[in-house]
Structure 1
């Protein structure tokens, strides 16, 4: 298949068995994570490429018949300024150059790869009217692991204009690549806005942060189960009959996972206390909302990464052009705010269980799980480390959706600040990982000191791996390396999602 310019259409070859086929409608969060990590070949389906060609032809026809924002006009408050359609190398290039602010730190390669994939898939949804060679160039860059330098700043939730301008300028040969490169492509009329009109970078960060939190929340079941064993918890708090009486989905799932980890061969041994501290007893009720929040974020992001949300929308079916507000990402911003708040509550319970683990009244062991002479500090410092991370998480959990802005001479008078929500969510994930790692180090140490390894098949296997990973040192010693080891091991504890 060839395009209108006579060039071969990308995606026309047969995809490999491990490749990801882009069709503009079926990309999911797991796909984004896999490509972000590198090594996954990406190809565009022939049907998607055909749709992109038709969208481009429709945009060209519409631009010759009526005003089209960003194609025959300026942008923002310049929406009424008429521009020619024959000077793309000046008007479209000026638009890209003027929007590439390039402030802030460069984004990590995994975020940029994820953003390029999302933008490629959105363009494959065929609503932008962009020239097909931009799709070819993005596909080629992903196949060759070429990654442009993209900076963090300049986006407020109405389109990642600055960062996407940098990607477009790299594709057209006007800005440098961080690694690799692809042959530069020329601009056609309307290409600049068609490429910029997206929140792909913000969505990439949201996907990566949301999926990391999803793994951490799943792993927290195992960490909590280890603490439960060390603390001699009561099984009554996780009983199916209890959660059937108030069946919030996440809480039901959390309790079921705890039963799966803790109850084996019908063993319902009573706990040491008639009622456990909240860190154990209220775990499903606090953990459940966070699980539900991850699910809700995934549902929203699934729609976003497959959306033809460019303004204006070029509709091939009707030949129409529709100016709209699909650039607003309020759904994602609110979901990210909700998730961070829920994770903060979960992290508080982890820190509370850590406090229980260093208390002899709950474990029957020495204060701070010390194993040396009287006055030894044991894991005392872990509470400081955990509460430092919890404090940082608390700062990042604050809502960003309470702010707004009025810019471009008053024409653009609302913003979701979703990029800030995604950035804060990534920070929250890192800090929650630290809190959970501190609890994990203490739980493993307590089980070792008590010589009571878990008996259940799943939990025993996890404990065995951790027992072989974390050094067994009784005397006081620096704990930082152990926290780092535990933090790296947490993803392996996630189990089923």
Structure 2
């Protein structure tokens, strides 16, 4: 079936496709044009290196760039490079991130520009289709190349290290590939692991941002809030694109509801929702655009220029765009998550819900009291993780590599932020659904009713004091469905 396979061609990979490949439920194929593009670059790289110095092929790397590799040592040079660079540390990256890395590197090589032997494309595709993973430790990159991760991958291809496979992550021999010594630096000079994790993070981020609007609309309906803040005239007066998009979505979600509001104006969690959630929406969109551009780029150093039959030593290995985009997305996400926590507070208040405090079964019951603690615990982590990774600096390799953007750390922080945000938003969904059930009210129709029906179909209807951990987990797991099936 078409939707059970992903064809890698080097030019059109999406973050959503990287996510599907990372989940392991698709077959990976390599398009003929990708193989052709990679083969052309490989031939040019070979020819140019025979005529002039080429970084990493005929020279050392880093501060050793001024050292020429003697021809009689050329066969051993690349292997030494891989062995010396396969030195990450710490726990292994998650399996889905490792699969995302393989998918991105496969696409990058198919873009043409690396000069790596095109036969490696089939080997990487085989590893993905067989469910094999390279053992890649977490620590080893700072946004200027995932050298340790890809060196470890190269040693797996060469048979010097075992792939990991199966649910137990045990060692397994996989497809072998004789990576030529001259191709060693070209294979590992990539940010594929950082970009793979970034693609996963922005896909989840876009989903949660969409789900947030649905959950906020349920909360507004539960507290009988005013729809005035979403009126077209309001957002024509201050026409930020994200703000207008959020307001339009809220109007669509609330289109079937015509009850009079309980207050002349609501707290910021409702009244300023478009102005705060709009930046998160735009930041997520921009981050996805940046990552998509990067995973389809021949961002190689040196870059093999097939048309010009030369190579260019350059700085495209630096992923400043990615790191800064993710940093901005996390900051915007903290702002909108703070509003979610504020709305959760209103859902515990009798003056907003007409129920007992904390939606308790009795006046003395604790009800949903603990949800606020959980949500603010998650919010505290999002606030901690919102610190820009780009504020770091590094001077490496005897001073010749004197800058780093730390996009790797930004990607990791975004992964953790998404997980925490999912919990906080799940808490709000639990509270909004429970309030409506206890009020005996339901949305009249449209996507908001569909969202309510999805929630009530899986959420426990009991209101007596009981553990709510399962409710939070169910609500968090439901968020992708709300985004895909109910968000306007």
User: Which position in structure 1 is the counterpart of 2:226?
Assistant: 234
- Does the alignment pair 1:380 with 2:369? yes
TM-score for the superposition, normalised by structure 1: 0.94
> Which residue is 1:10 aligned to?
none
Which structure 1 segments of 5+ residues have no match?
A: 1-14
2:136 corresponds to 1:111: no
1:393 corresponds to which of 382, 387, 392: 382
> What is aligned with 1:359?
349
SS in 1 for 2:401: coil
Deviation at 1:145, TM superposition (A): 2.2
Cross-structure match for 1:207: 199
1:194 maps to which of 186, 190, 208: 186
- How far apart are the structure 2 equivalents of 1:448 and 1:388? 26
| 2:423 alignment partner in structure 1 | 434
2:338 to 340, 348, 367: 348
- The one of 286, 297, 302 equivalent to 1:307 is 297
- State how far apart, in whole Å, the 2-side matches of 1:303 and 1:217 are: 21
- The equivalent of 2:209 in structure 1 is 217
What is the alpha-carbon distance in structure 2 between the residues aligned to residue 16 and residue 181 of structure 1? 30
Counterpart Cα distance in 2 of 1:190 and 1:322: 16
2:314 corresponds to: 324
SS in 1 for 2:389: coil
Selected match of 2:159 from 157, 169, 173? 173
How many residue pairs get aligned? The number is 480
Local SS of the residue matching 2:7: strand
The Cα shift of 1:39 comes to 2.1
Quote the Cα distance in structure 1 between the aligned partners of 2:224 and 2:75: 71
Q: Deviation digits for residues 271-329 of structure 1, max 9, x if unmatched?
A: 11000111011111100001101111111111100111111011111111110111111
Equivalent residue number for residue 463 of structure 1: 452
Q: Secondary structure of 1:96's partner?
A: helix
CA distance in structure 2 between the partners assigned to 1:350 and 1:159 by the alignment: 37
Deviations, residues 2-26 of structure 1 (Å, cap 9, x unaligned): xxxxxxxxxxxxx967422211111
Deviations 1:93-135 (A, max 9, x none): 1101111113121111111111111101100111011112222
Deviation at 1:88, TM superposition (A): 5.0
Match of 2:253 among 261, 264, 269: 261
CA–CA distance in structure 2, aligned partners of residues 464 and 43 of structure 1: 39
- Structure 2 gaps, min length 5: 166-171
Q: Is the 8 A contact 2:136 2:149 kept in 1?
A: yes
1:248 counterpart (222, 240, 255): 240
Q: Secondary structure at the match of 2:311?
A: strand
Counterpart of 1:409 in structure 2 is: 398
Greater helix share, structure number = 2
The answer to whether the 8 Å contact 1:71/1:85 transfers is no
5 Å-filtered alignment, 1:1-20, equals 18-20=4-6
- Structure-2 separation of matches of 1:482 and 1:43: 40
Q: Distance in 2 between matches of 1:345 and 1:190?
A: 49
Cα–Cα, structure 1 residues 455 and 320, in superposed 2: closer, same or farther, change >3 Å?
same
Question: Structure 1: how far apart are the matches of 2:70 and 2:373?
Answer: 63
Contact 1:157 1:415 in 2 (8 A): yes
CA distance in 2 between counterparts of 1:439 and 1:17 reads 34
Contact 1:56 1:129 (C-alpha < 8 Å) held by counterparts = yes
So what's the TM-score if we normalise by structure 2? 0.96
Deviation digits for residues 199-248 of structure 1 (CA, Å, limit 9, x no counterpart): 01001111111111110110011111110111001011111121112111
Contact 1:400 1:417 in 2 (8 A): yes
| Alpha-carbon distance in structure 2 between the residues aligned to 1:404 and 1:469 | 47
The answer for the alignment partner of 2:461 in structure 1 is 472
- Partner of residue 76, structure 1: 62
How far did 1:172 drift?
A: 1.0
Distance 2:176 2:445 in 1: 58
Structure 1 runs, 4 residues or longer, greater than 4 Å off: 85-89
For residues 119 and 420 of structure 2, what CA distance do their matches in structure 1 show? 42
Q: Secondary structure at the match of 2:164?
A: strand
User: 2:194·2:407 contact (CA, 8 Å) conserved in 1?
Assistant: yes
Name the counterpart of 1:12: none
